[in-house]
Structure 1
Amino acid sequence: MSVTTTVSELRDLLDSDEPPVVLDVRWALGDPHGHEHYAEGHIPGAVYVDLDRELAAPPSAAGGRHPLPSLDDVQAAARRWGVRAGRPVVVHDDLGNTAAARAWWLLRRAGVSGVTLLDGALGAWRAAGLPLESGLPPEPEPGDIVLADGGLGVTDADGAAELAASGLLLDARAAERYRGEVEPVDPRAGHIPGAVSAPTGENLAADGTFLPADALRKRFEEKGAGPATRIGVYCGSGVTAAHQIAALEIAGFDAVLFPGSWSAWSSDPSRPAARGDQP
Structure 2
Amino acid sequence: MSVLVSPLDLAADLERGSADRTVVLDVRWRLGGPPGRAEHAAGHVPGAVFVDLDTELAAPPGTGGRHPLPEPSRLQEVLRRAGVSEGSRVVAYDHADGSVAARAWWLLRWAGLPADRVAVLDGGWAAWREEGLPVSTEEPAPEPGDVVVRPGAMPVLDADAAAALARSGVLLDARAGERYRGEVEPVDPRAGHIPGARSAPSAGNVGHDGRWQEPGDLAERFRELGVEPGSGPEAVGAYCGSGVTASSLVLALEYAGLTAPEKPAALYAGSWSDWSTDPDRPAATGPDAG
TM-score of the superposition, structure 2-length normalised? 0.93
Cα shift readout 1:51-100 (whole Å, capped 9, x = no counterpart)? 0011000111x310000012221111110110011121111011311111
Q: Contact conserved, 2:96 with 2:127, CA < 8 A, in 1?
A: no
Note if 1:89 corresponds to 2:90. Answer: yes
CA distance in 1, matches of 2:69, 2:151: 12
CA distance in 2, matches of 1:112, 1:152: 10
Question: What residue is the counterpart of 1:109 in the other structure?
Answer: 110
Q: Give 1:248 shift.
A: 0.7
Q: Contact conserved, 2:48 with 2:140, CA < 8 A, in 1?
A: no
Unaligned runs of 5+ in 2: none
Q: Contact conserved, 2:5 with 2:121, CA < 8 A, in 1?
A: yes
Q: Contact conserved, 2:26 with 2:49, CA < 8 A, in 1?
A: yes
| RMSD, aligned α-carbons | 1.2
Q: Contact conserved, 2:167 with 2:196, CA < 8 A, in 1?
A: yes
Question: What residue is the counterpart of 2:146 in the other structure?
Answer: 144
Please give the secondary structure, in 1, of the residue aligned with 2:172: strand
Please give the secondary structure, in 1, of the residue aligned with 2:152: coil
Question: What residue is the counterpart of 1:248 in the other structure?
Answer: 253
Note if 1:239 corresponds to 2:244. Answer: yes
Note if 1:273 corresponds to 2:283. Answer: yes
Instruction: Find the partner of 1:130 among 109, 128, 133.
Output: 133
Q: Contact conserved, 1:28 with 1:95, CA < 8 A, in 2?
A: no
Match runs of 1:122-271 below 5 Å: 122-134=125-137, 137-227=139-229, 229=231, 230-252=235-257, 253=259, 254-271=264-281
Q: Contact conserved, 2:109 with 2:118, CA < 8 A, in 1?
A: yes
Q: Contact conserved, 1:91 with 1:118, CA < 8 A, in 2?
A: yes
Q: Give 1:170 shift.
A: 0.2
Q: Give 1:228 shift.
A: 5.5
CA distance in 2, matches of 1:127, 1:17: 23
Which residue identity is paired with 2:287?
D
Which residue identity is paired with 2:224?
E
Unaligned runs of 5+ in 1: none
Please give the secondary structure, in 1, of the residue aligned with 2:16: coil
For these two proteins, the number of residue pairs brought into alignment is 277
Q: Give 1:109 shift.
A: 1.2
TM-score of the superposition, structure 1-length normalised? 0.96
Which residue identity is paired with 2:198?
V
